[in-house]
Structure 1
Amino acid sequence: MDVLLTVVVPVYAVEGYLYQCLESIRAGLTAEENSQVEVIAVDDASPDACGSMLDGYAARHGDVRVLHLANNVGLGLARNAGLAEARGRYVWFVDSDDWLPAGSIRAVLERLRETEPDVLLIDHLRVHENGRLDTDASSPLLRGPATVERLLGVQHTAWNRIMRRDFLAKHDLRFPAGWYEDVPFSNPVLLAAERVEVLDRVCYHYRVGRFGAITATRSERHFEAFEQWDRLHAWVDSAGVDPALRVRLFTLMISHLLVVAGNESRVHPSRRRAFFRRIARLYRQHRPEGYLPPAGTPGIKHRLVAANSYVMYSALRTGYRVAGLRRRSTERTPAVSPDLPSPPQRVKATSLR
């Protein structure tokens, strides 16, 4: 039987999560379903024991192909290396610190056979280190009309879309090097597709806040986001994308970069002004005709970017943070009736990580 789906798993410094990821891919599959799936794990010159763990896993199970890269190339290029070796009609990029809930592969295989799309979008849950599961803010977009304009608002990651491999080859869609490599890949994937389907089912558990993850690491490399958005706009220009979609992308770009700018775990406070200035520069460079700022607080921030007013942005950000801290403090303080004694004090247990 031909391979229907190739799952590419780039691997780097994830010893504590790797087996869970690999086990989740084939869990519960029948022999027939298993024959339709191949797994390619790409060891991106991982500095820990991941390489040997992959070799041992492949030797025990015999259904994982392992690629060992001589040098660390980063997430995007490691995915490209796995894609180059893929044999499946479709490809799914699964990050090695995440995992698939039970039944995900079966559900994906069934939908791919039924609809034969260029791209299949799936839903996911955000998993925190304490085990809490959250729905992503963009997930409701999967339950509305499956228009490209709407679906562009779904989180622009590689792992929430399964793509036909010859479609990627036809449009020469590959990942660039650097951080935020999903931006100039995942958006063109939707814009170039002739047939997009949605599987309104949680098929992915995305781990957030993990120590060592890019989104939890303060670094100058977050400035690479600007290069990736520039790459996307160059592709949009060459592809002649509809003006309404250009407006949609521009709005999403400014909103995304403002999220990065305001995230304490990514941009150091001493570099926030410079990051904001770069957003303002990109705003002036790429603002399309017909663009209007969104409503509410996001629109205020967009207008401050347009005015290149970091002082006002900083004051607004500080005000919202203070208000949020006060609100959370109030929510944590239990109301005590004046007719009742105060509750006994308890010692809160803590753990070292």
Structure 2
Amino acid sequence: MEERRPFISVVMPVYNVEKHLKKAVDSVLKQTYTDFEIILVDDCSPDGCPQLCEELAASDERIMAVHHNENKGLSMARNTGMTYASGKYIWFMDSDDFVEDSLFAMVFDSVKENPAELILFGLTEDYYDEKDRLHHSEVICPKREIYENKEELRRKVIDLEKQTLYGYAWNKMYDLDYLNKIGLQFEKITLIEDILFNVNFCMHIRKMNVLPFCGYHYNKRMDNSLTSKFVSDYYKLHRKRIDLIYKQYQKWGMCESGVKSVLGALYVRYIFSAIQRNCDKRAEMSHKGRRKWVRTLLKEPLLKELLPYAKSDGKLLAVMIGVLKTGCVSGILLLGRVIFICKNSLPMIFSVLKQKR
């Protein structure tokens, strides 16, 4: 007799989140739809998380604790969780976030209507300052949409990327059988592991449900957020992100001007984010080095292809696009320096302004 499967497997990598883990798990346990399992993957956390995982597992039979004997990173922790998952759908939730209680019920109802390979929803970005106080929130809520054929689904992907909804793993639930069929796992790569996973997952799927749910609280903390730390390969990684989606649309035969417009604007945003990072002392880059970097950048074939199409409704990004289109190295570096000063002097104010870009 075949063993009964839960509807949702929640895989939660755990590392150095002792202050937040119980809140994350409790938010899942409070779901109004209760047919799920939780797999806590302790990635050899140095704090009290290993013991807390065991305590949580002992408190509810739907919770399982798995422990790595060495730190392997987010991607490997997710892959470990995948090997234990038995649900119809799998969800990779971050262990320092929390979710409101209606998500699973909405997912279940949408799947009854359209048994899709991918369920996608929105989020609320909660920004916390250095003292872990909530400073402000930004809600990103997509419209409800049901896609029953691959052509409609593929045309929607670029809009999801524009809304910042395509790249995350934790705002999606994936059909586990399909995931196992294609043998997809997360790669160990900084910053872009989620988008790489999603591009590969979505390449051949036929059905997708988009839910108007924004109750996933993505907590962005100034004290330990990866995106607030210095990443030396920032530009290289984000150029790869743009190239991944560009090539995906080329393979789909849908690389039209609208797609290039969105990717061009995003590429510009990443470029200026990289330039302001180059101003950081940890980049060990002189002004002369930054000038050389920009001159090399302006020769990039991908940039030459996408920049002419780049457009933005936001004022800040529109300025970035305009300055980059001039090809003036001094102007580009000046704007990058201004962004660097603003971000580092007033990080919270800058995060608010960035949302209005």
Bucket of the pairwise TM-score, normalised by the shorter protein: 0.7 to 0.9
Structure 1 pair 92–321 and aligned structure 2 pair: CA distance change class (3 A):
same
Per the alignment, do residues 87 and 291 of structure 1 end up closer, same or farther by CA in structure 2, a change over 3 Å counting? farther
Note the C-alpha offset of 1:53: 0.8
The amino acid that maps onto 2:317 is P
TM (norm. structure 1) is: 0.75
Please tell me whether the aligned partners of residues 190 and 196 of structure 1 are also in contact (alpha carbons under 8 angstroms).
no
Tell me the equivalent position of 1:151: 160
Maintained 8 Å contact 1:42/1:78: yes
Equivalent pairs, count: 320
Task: Report the counterpart of residue 153 of structure 2 in structure 1.
Answer: none
Aligned position for 2:224: 212
The aligned counterpart of 2:78 is 79
Residue of 312, 316, 330 corresponding to 1:311:
330
Residue 284 in structure 1 maps to residue 284 in structure 2: no
Conserved 8 A contact 1:219-1:267: no
1:18 and 2:29 matched: no
Q: Tell me whether 1:257 sits opposite 2:276 in the alignment.
A: no
* CA 145–39 in structure 1, closer or farther in 2 if over 3 Å, else same: closer
C-alpha distance in structure 1 between counterparts of 2:299 and 2:208, whole Å: 30
- Given that 2:144 and 2:211 are in contact with CA atoms closer than 8 Å, whether structure 1 keeps it comes out as no
State the SS of the aligned residue for 1:88.
Answer: coil
Change (3 A) 1:222 1:95: same
1:286/1:315 Cα in 2 relative to 1: closer, same or farther (>3 Å)? closer
In 2, Cα distance between equivalents of 1:117 and 1:274: 48
Please give the secondary structure, in 2, of the residue aligned with 1:243.
coil
Q: How does 1:83-98 map to 2 (within 5 A)?
A: 83-98=82-97
Shift, 1:159, TM fit: 0.8
Conserved? CA contact 1:257–1:279, under 8 Å: no
How many Å apart are 1:218 and its aligned residue?
2.6
Q: Can you give the 5+ residue segments of structure 1 that lack an aligned partner in the other structure?
A: 329-353
Q: What per-residue deviation string (whole Å, max 9, x for no partner) do you get for residues 99-126 of structure 1?
A: 1112222222222333211211111111
Cα deviation code 1:221-262 (max 9, x no counterpart) = 545624753883697389455323862673265145236436
Contact 1:119/1:195, CA 8 A, preserved across alignment = yes
- In structure 2, distance between residues paired with 1:240 and 1:313: 34
Give the secondary structure class of the aligned counterpart of 2:317: helix
Residue in structure 2 matched with residue 2 of structure 1 by the alignment: 5
Cα distance in 2 for residues equivalent to 1:8 and 1:60 = 17
Q: Equivalent residue of 2:169, what SS?
A: coil
In the superposition, relative to structure 1, how do residues 255 and 85 fare at CA in structure 2: closer, same or farther (>3 Å)? farther
Distance verdict in 2 for CA 1:168–1:285, change over 3 Å: same
Q: CA RMSD in A?
A: 3.8
**Residue 195 of structure 1 pairs with residue 207 of structure 2:** yes
Q: Which amino acid aligns with 1:169?
A: N
Q: 1:289 to 1:315 in 2, by over 3 A?
A: closer
Larger radius of gyration: 1
Whether the 8 Å contact between 1:4 and 1:90 is mirrored in structure 2 is yes
| Residue equivalent to 2:352 | none
1:155-183 CA-partner distances (Å, limit 9, x unpaired): 22111111112333344433211211122
Alignment correspondent of 2:67:
68
